[in-house]
Amino acid sequence: MDHFQYRDGILHVEDIPLPRIAEEVGTPVYVYSRATLERHAQTFRDGLKDVPKKHLAFAIKCNPNLGVLRVLARQGYGADVVSGGELERALAAGMAAEDIVFSGVGKTRAELALGLDRGIGQFNIEHEPEGIALAEIAVQKEMTARAVLRVNPDVDAGTHAKISTGKADNKFGVGIDVAPEIFGRLAGLPGLQLRGVALHIGSQLTSLAPLEAAFERVGRLVADLRAAGHSITHVDLGGGLGVRYREGDNPPTPAEYGAMVARVTKDWDVTLMFEPGRVIAGNTGVLLTEVLWVKPGATNPFVVVDAAMNDLTRPALYDAHHDFDAVKRSGDTMTASIVGPVCETGDTFARDREIDTVAPGDLAVFRTAGAYGATMASTYNSRSLVPEVLVDGDRYAIVADRIAAKTIMAAERVPDWLD
Ligand code: LLP
């Protein structure tokens, strides 16, 4: 059951007609559906029904809104965080410290210390010096840091180059060939309880094959580490499962993913950890926008909307596709390019695409904007920071305010010596 439905020709999110949100909150605005979030959280968990010991950590980088995180906390999800800021958010949203995993290739010493002080469940160590630093800080604090070593399995995830993380020449993890020696050196350090390994090969994966190849390599590594006398109790399989952005996309379902995981890992006897992001949040949100102008172009017209690349950066950054649908559908279509107001040609959401016919003043949505949408927004061109709304049945709440350019400007200074 989809919670983004046309009723009487008007797009609703759950029971709320989108024109109401446009009128009361303004546009552009991200709108999320609580019921959809909950359903995705449950579907992902159900997919892993044959994995006996598991831990689910939502990759909060994809949607760190406190309201969204609270929904997932109530679904029993912990968090995968990559900065001190995300760590504080996860706690503020009600996630338990022991359910938090700290990933990221550039954790500072201050962030490692913060993680220890807050009592987080696990550090995913990216390389040997970071592990040494973590051990030193833990010893100073008379604490023990639970950790796993992130390995780079050198597989091609078959996704966009900018979001691929598991090839040998990517910056993430330690090479799987050198992992045993590094593991051996780190495992002996006081202050560190090195209990397993982690991997994450990329995002928006639309095939299970690279994941399976990577998991098999990690399975062999686990066996080698055990043969060398190490106790391996945890393996973090990361995130990466893709979602459907447009008709014809056919990413593996959570059930297919879960069945593959259960099969490949059946003899591992570890707690498996997962860091899903997009598969939980992607299809739970839309970016609601108003058409400002329809401007003639050399071939097709430009539909100029009030959302821009600063609000939804994925098309500009990764040539990503987001479906564009009119909130009130006439049934007619037009071929147009959809662009935002920012002064860059890159501020283009779609080129020469067949879309619902729209006119100035009409509302429309970009679909599948619940992951890596608002979180990647900026105020480029001194635009406001885009607000977020969470719908729950027939009620909604503004879960992030629109931050006006004026408010951002208020944090800037012109020093006296410029006068
Ligand atoms: N775990 C780690 C260590 C990660 O680096 C990521 C994503 C995830 C989990 C979650 O991956 P997911 O399940 O969401 O695929 N901004 C890009 C995506 C960047 C992904 C970065 N890492 C986009 O808009 O496509």
Cα of 127 from ligand 1 centre, angstroms: 19
Does the domain formed by 4-32+282-409 have CATH 2.60.120.260?
no
CATH code of 34-278, in short, is 3.20.20.10
Reference 183, options 137, 226, 121, 138; nearest CA is 226
pLDDT of amino acid 167: 81
Domain(s) labelled CATH 3.20.20.10 in the chain stretch across 34-278
Q: 62 catalytic, yes or no?
A: no
* Residue among 1, 227, 298, 343 flagged as catalytic: 343
- HSE of 21 in the Cβ direction (CA atoms, 13 Å)? 36
* Cα 77 to ligand 1 centroid, rounded to whole Å: 17
Edge to edge, what strands does the sheet with 10-13 contain? Answer: 4-7, 10-13, 16-17
DSSP state of 228: T
Q: List, by residue range, all CATH 2.40.37.10 domains of the chain.
A: 4-32+282-409
pLDDT along the chain (419 residues), means of 10: 90 98 98 98 98 98 98 98 98 98 97 98 98 98 98 88 81 94 97 98 95 97 98 98 96 98 98 98 98 97 98 97 97 97 97 98 98 98 98 98 96 96
Q: What residues are designated binding site?
A: 240, 275-278, 314, 318, 344, 372
| Ligand 1 site, residue 59, Cβ cutoff 6 A | yes
Query: pTM of the entire structure?
Result: 0.97
Collapsing DSSP to helix, strand or coil, 186 comes out as helix
Q: What is the pLDDT of residue 170?
A: 84
Please tell me the predicted confidence (pLDDT) of residue 1. 57
